[in-house]
Chain A
């Protein structure tokens, strides 16, 4: 009896605790969503002045903000594609072949994962300045590809560790050449790892503030655009766009992971 009561109390406590943590995680997001409907028109747009849809309409006139959002999407898509291709090939190659300096490349891959982003940002800035690469779209994409590759490689590598190479030999024995084997056998087996890596790369790219901050030149991404307005007060149209993005991602999750929400 006593044990049961204690278990019940523990259960209640853990539910309360987790609810509080979720409240903490979602609090600033709810502030953003609510503020996107705030009728306040004076900086810093903090106090509540009534409900309006105005900011969602004004958003479409804010071309520089929409442009910045477009830039972020282009960079994220292009970097994800490059990082995924280079990372997948690299993971397969490093798994399969022995060569000199392999452990050096292996060690280098951990650097973007553990080192503070600011160090990566300034090191890229100094080298781009040294070799006179004009800062802009190109440097942003190069930077994003660089910090995304290791995450793709780790994801693909995790998949490779349970990979049975003999099915490739079987494919070749049955007459398929190397290229056909790669596309028909290797890739489909690795697909979940590749997709996981690509999704992670995409997320990292859209959210990146620190590294982009040092290599952007004149091409502003959406986070950089927000950073610019942080000092004077972020206008509610930024909140409106953030809310739309949030709704977009949730819809995406529900569609792709739909089975999560179905009852058994």
Chain B
């Protein structure tokens, strides 16, 4: 009896005090809400848009609606192109920054982060001001007589992709920077001493050793991209809707929560599958936390 009491004081009580609060929050505000979304995806709504517990698979049937299928494809294309562009721009950029030897390196690194302390919505709006028909780029092009009339640069797939790349590229640069910084330079010297051409060294040594950064960066760009509805809203103006816009609409103006919940299940499944693939490729979950 005495022993268990001692054990309680020594282990159970401190464990409860330290892990208790976080457990409570994770269960109440992560696990239960997600389970509830899954349940709601099987519910119906009555004529007043209230959610009722009449179980149905109708919401899932509606997911195969032709308009929706088009938007899934569009989301897939936008997210894939965004991820590829982030790799193509982010990799050489991170490489140069991470290999800078002087003290400038830290400043260069900070300069990647500073833009992201200005709210992302406002920065996206800055792009709109720059690209709009009465915007700066058009004024410049017209005053240089390159074009006679303003060119519509907004509301195109390309504009949405630009905004997505802009918002998400730090999530590619930061893990790449970490991976490249860890790279052992003596390996590169060894490779070139043994007669490898620079391209060979890159594909045979550098790329495999930094692939972990590419994998985690891609995951952290691709998945959020599907849900960034405000980017496609502001820059795509309804022409480049993504699955995030569909969900947002069901929970706001559309007021069909069960359908929105079913759409969210797609995003949850995509996330689960991609995380599984990431782990299969040897990805470390701890390197995902920004």
Contact = CB atoms under 8 A, between A and B. Distances in A.
Interface of A: 14, 17-18, 21-22, 24-29, 31-32, 35, 44, 46-48, 86-87, 89-90, 92-94, 96-97, 99, 101, 105, 108-120, 122-127, 130, 142-143, 145-146, 149-151, 153-155, 157-158, 178, 200, 203, 206-207, 209-210, 213-214, 222-223, 226-227, 230, 234, 238-239, 242, 245-246, 249-250, 253, 257, 260-261, 263-264
Contact of A260 (B96, B106, B117, B286): B106
Contacts of A96: 14-15, 18
Nearest to A225: B121
A93 B18 contact: yes
Contacts of B285: 110
A116 B290 CA distance: 14
B289 A21 contact: no
Contacts of A151: 289-290
- What are the 6 closest A-B residue pairs judged by CB atoms, nearest first? A93-B18, A28-B126, A116-B227, A90-B22, A123-B33, A93-B19
A106 to B, nearest CB: 9
B217 to A, nearest CB: 13
Instruction: Please report whether the interface of chain A is mostly helix, strand, loop or mixed according to DSSP.
Output: helix
A105 B37 contact: no
Nearest to A24: B166
Given A86-B25, A118-B264, A209 B120 contact: yes
B42 interface: no
B208 to A, nearest CB: 22
B214 to A, nearest CB: 17
Interface stretch (B62-70, B108-116, B199-207): B108-116
Interface residues of B, number: 83
Given A94-B19, A234-B125, A207 B260 contact: no
Interface in B130-182: 130, 132, 134-136, 139, 166, 169
Contacts of B87: none
A94 B129 CA distance: 48
A18 B96 contact: yes
Contacts of A200: 290
A110 B123 CA distance: 28
B118 A150 contact: no
Contacts of B257: 126
A153 B226 CA distance: 26
